Chain A
Amino acid sequence: MTENALDTAGRQADAAGAPAASAATSSTDGSSTVAAPPPGVGGRPPRPTLGRRALILADSLWRPALVLAAFFAAWWFVAAREYVPNYLVPTPGQVWATMTDQWSELARHTMVTLYETVLGFVLAAALGLAAAVAIAYSRTLDKALYPIVLFAQVIPKIAIAPLLVVWFGLGLTPKIILAVLIAFFPVVISGVAGLRSTDPELLDLAATMGAGPWRTFRKIRFPNALPHLMAGLKVAVTLAVVGAVVGEFVGASEGLGYVLLLANGNLDSALLFADLILMSAIGIVLFVLVEIAEALLIPWHASRRAGVPLTTS
């Protein structure tokens, strides 16, 4: 289930991450009318118009859409012909029917899981960044915190889920804590890597500019760490979904994980599939949001540009 979510999210990422590149190639493969935006002279290339942007988007989406369509066709074929009995694999139509019939219930459970995931992710991002700053700035804290962070990571979080339920009851708290615990590690690791990757000459320079540590952090170290950090946040957001759902497995009265267990117990495979689709949707939507945030925050980074030097002199 979770692998499915990650997989789909990854494919989505490729699609969303490469609009510029595919726009550039589309003019060469001749299969599309989208032309690469004219290279800007003396500045950034002009912003594409809305229509052109839609075309670029369509151009980047048709490949994954095709794969998805093929997958659905195969699924439908296998299920409708009952090569596999319907109580094991329902048809897409049955899943759709279940989804629409029980929409209000499913929407409520989706909102619960979404809430846990987002809150867990935001907390993990904040705590992870704080820990990363502490580790990157202080040798003492580095020695004190890093082993603990690592230890917390190697404990199988799923194994401590029952303990969290015992401690915090059946409410939202244990799910959020689990989401935080799972999503925390990639944020810390990427944050530390990013903060440590600052060019030492830039730090020397900041010292000769008489800037204090806060200004140096705000103007140099933090923006410099953002590309690493965003990569960690992308991993973290997909893991936060896993944390929330696992928390719901162990003890809950609402949420998609709870519905999944219920559907499993009733051999209601249509509901189970509908539930899986909603879980994946949460992962994908959140991942895309982080992608968008990344595109807005670090448009300058090498991973996000198809840049050509402006001058040769």
Chain B
Amino acid sequence: MTTAPARAGTAIGMSRLTVRFSSRRSQTTALDDVSLDIEPGEFVTIVGPSGCGKSTLLKIVAGLVQPTSGEVSLLDRPVRGPQKEIGFVFQKAALLEWRGARANILLQAEMRGMDRAQAARRADELIEMTGLTGFEKALPHELSGGMQQRVALCRALLHSPPVLLMDEPFGALDALTREQMNAELHRIWRETGTTVVLVTHSIAEAVFLGTRVVVMSARPGRIIRTFPVELPAHRDYAQVMSDSRFDRLATDLRGLLGSAAANH
């Protein structure tokens, strides 16, 4: 399996990020003074109430949104404009509906002008790894939500990005598929060593997947606390769910998010 090169320094650096959106009538502060450093190989999950600017945070790292003030760096280089060194997964699979699963994955290669043969080999690897074998030619409308999201994940991983940004990727899936996808994502992260930042509404997902859980407050979005997840690096879904450490952290998070929501 291809592994992201180990890098010295930080994978993602955010310092004093503030984002204000101004409309004609009002000005809203989406993010307020957010600072966070993420080491290479970390799996950071961000939880928070709706509208706390979690998605905006990811878009800033990807260079799709400019912060009003503050500095962002990706792989020790300042972020100005859209970044290529990342894979991005959205809540919707955002697949091209005229392309089959494999062709959708290979879009990444075509857009980047990657070597065709190499990209095709890598696509086959990913298809096998995510259990899409047999559905290579199926069009998105022929696939279930979980399958579509697998395709989107493969597309984001095709170029072996050092950083993977995921914006509530499993939010639209049913609970069972979601658990399955969590387990798969954990395995993929273990196998590839990619730095992952995942935004989620699910406390269980955040704790199971993360090496660190960042809790944000409702608008304006601030980081309230960061919890290290004291679970082994290699995790089994059923085991983790019955682990007392999981329970304790989940309870802490629930309390914190409850109080954060109650204040607003």
Contacts and interface: CB of A to CB of B under 8 A. Distances in A.
A307 B138 CA distance: 11
Given A42-B135, A44-B137, A208-B62, A219 B90 contact: no
Contact of B59 (A204, A211, A308, A311): A204
A211 B112 CA distance: 6
Interface string A29-46: 000000000000011100
A228 B123 CA distance: 31
Interface in A173-231: 199, 201-202, 204-211, 215-216, 219-220, 223-224
Interface stretch (B91-99, B182-190, B245-253): B91-99
B143 A309 contact: yes
B111 A310 contact: no
A199 B96 CA distance: 10
A209 B84 contact: yes
Given A201-B94, A313-B177, A219 B111 contact: yes
A272 B253 CA distance: 83
Interface string B97-139: 1100000000110111000000000000000000000110111
Interface in A279-313: 298, 300-302, 305, 307-313
Interface residues of B, number: 33
B96 A220 contact: yes
B147 interface: yes
Given A42-B135, A311-B144, A201 B92 contact: yes
Interface in B31-62: 59, 62
B141 interface: yes
A66 B82 CA distance: 60
Contact of A208 (B84, B137, B139): B84
Nearest to A312: B144
B130 to A, nearest CB: 13
Contacts of A205: 88, 90, 94
B59 A302 contact: no
Interface in A42-79: 42-44
Q: What is the interface of chain B mostly: helix, strand, loop, or mixed?
A: loop
B171 interface: no
Given A199-B94, A201-B94, A205-B88, A210 B135 contact: no
Query: Contact size class for A?
Result: 20 to 34
Given A43-B138, A208-B86, A313 B146 contact: yes
A211 B110 CA distance: 9
B184 to A, nearest CB: 13
A208 B64 contact: yes
B243 interface: no
Contacts of A301: 97-98
Contacts of A311: 135, 142-144, 147
A219 B63 CA distance: 22
Contacts of B146: 313
B9 to A, nearest CB: 22
A43 B139 CA distance: 9
B68 interface: no
B58 to A, nearest CB: 10
A313 B137 contact: no
B111 A223 contact: no
A210 B81 CA distance: 10
Contacts of A42: 134-135, 138
Contact of A210 (B64, B97, B112, B147): B112
B3 interface: no
Contacts of A300: 97-98, 139, 141
Contact of B107 (A43, A219, A308): A219
B169 to A, nearest CB: 12
Contacts of A44: 137
Contacts of A310: 135, 138, 142-143
A307 B142 contact: yes
B96 A202 contact: yes
Given A204-B88, A210-B111, A223-B98, A43 B137 contact: yes
10 contacts: A202-B94, A205-B90, A207-B63, A208-B82, A208-B88, A300-B98, A300-B139, A301-B97, A311-B142, A313-B177
Interface of A: 42-44, 199, 201-202, 204-211, 215-216, 219-220, 223-224, 298, 300-302, 305, 307-313
